[in-house]
Amino acid sequence: MLKFAPIVLLALLLFHGCSVLGLEPSYEERTSYVVNQFPNNDSTTDTLLTCISYNIQCGFPANMSPWTASDIGATKQHIQALAQHIRSLNPDIVCLQEVARNRSNMEIKNLLEELAKELNMNYAFGAHGYNDATGVTPVPGEWGNAILSRFTIESMENVEVERIDVWQRRSILSVIVKNGTKRMAVSSLHFIPTENSATQSARYFSNSSSPFNQIPHIIGGDFNMGEVKELEQIGLTDATATSIPGGSIDKVFCSTTSFTVVKAGEHTKGFGDPTDTLSDHRAVFAVLLLTK
């Protein structure tokens, strides 16, 4: 578990030192860190929470591909457009998937930092592993999950739960945030579309010894599947289950005993609106009432 960014900053310096020396990076490494740029010392617990889950396709619009080396994404203009779209819901928590970092075809290498600055939110990042456009070698980039929070992030962990090989790995990023006198867990995930995904994640979330699973829990993710019964069976509610016509593989789950779902749905202004082209996914949201 990581609590302080300086530990990770040292690791980053060591990594960049290897790059300068021309050494091949260890593709088993993963970057994880937390930054509280806006500490929240408010002692009042907010009970009505707006949560978003959004797969941002590495900062590339829908008509471009992160896997094509000649396509350039994560531009300043695009990050500002993503921020404007997210900001329009005034969220307390944002779970992001396909968050790229330091990829060769990114204009702005620290996409998450720039997005967090635009939104005035604290943030955590947890990589699955190295990732870049097709044919790029050595691979400089990474991708993973991120969490943006209006609340102070007290701790985090980034746990690998799925692995096919070094290039096909998925982790769950979990943090604990301080909401007034309450502490809440928030997780962001991105399933590999295999039958094992839901089982592995349910095993992680049902670990009774984990501090992340002993308090009210919100989970946002790209599940790459319809129903996720494995999570429902361990006491989690799919807040977006009945609110999106035709369903969605992007979902927000919450602890059944801690939250009541007030409202949920896709965050879009309608077919053809520019917000529908910011990613190959639409953002989904849930307004949750903290009851326990």
Q: Name all domains of the chain by residue range, CATH numbers in brackets.
A: 5-290 (3.60.10.10)
At residue 111, the pLDDT reads 98
pLDDT band at 271 (very low <50, low <70, confident <90, very high): low
Query: Of 4-8, 104-108, 190-194, which one has max mean pLDDT?
Result: 104-108
Query: What pLDDT is recorded for position 148?
Result: 98
**Long-range contacts made by residues 209-215, C-beta under 8 angstroms, separation at least 24?**
211/155, 211/176, 211/185, 212/157, 212/174, 212/176, 212/185, 212/187, 213/185, 215/176, 215/182, 215/183, 215/184, 215/185
| Rounded Cα gap, residues 237 and 254, in angstroms | 5
User: What DSSP element (H or E) covers 118?
Assistant: helix 111-119
Q: Which residue has the higher pLDDT, 255 or 10?
A: 255
CA distances from residue 75 to 58, 127, 140, 248 in whole angstroms, order as listed: 11, 21, 18, 27
What is residue 22's predicted lDDT score, i.e. its pLDDT?
Answer: 55
For 10, which DSSP code?
Answer: H
Q: What's the CA gap between 144 and 99, in Å, rounded?
A: 5
Residue 12 has pLDDT above 60, yes or no: no
Q: What is the pLDDT of residue 88?
A: 95
Helix, strand, or coil (residue 291): coil
By three-state DSSP, how is residue 197 classified?
helix
Asked if residue 19 has pLDDT above 80, the reply is no
Q: Percentage of the chain with pLDDT > 70?
A: 91
Mean pLDDT of 45-61: 97
Across the range 52-64, mean pLDDT stands at: 97
Instruction: Tell me: pLDDT of 56 over 60.
Output: yes
| 16 has a pLDDT exceeding 60 | no
> What is the band of 39 on the pLDDT scale with cuts at 50, 70, 90?
confident
Residue 131 has pLDDT above 90, yes or no: yes
Check whether 292 has a pLDDT greater than 90. Answer: no
Tell whether the model's pLDDT for residue 14 goes beyond 50: no
The yes-or-no verdict on residue 2 having pLDDT over 60 is no
Lowest-confidence pick of 111-115, 137-141, 144-148: 137-141
Q: Give this prediction's pTM.
A: 0.91
User: Does residue 156 have a pLDDT over 90?
Assistant: yes
SS3 275: helix
Q: Who's near 188: CB < 8 A, 6+ residues apart?
A: 53, 95, 96, 97, 126, 145, 146, 147, 172, 173, 219, 220, 221
Question: Does the pLDDT at position 164 exceed 70?
Answer: yes
Lowest-confidence segment of 12-16, 132-136, 173-177, 285-289 by average pLDDT? 12-16
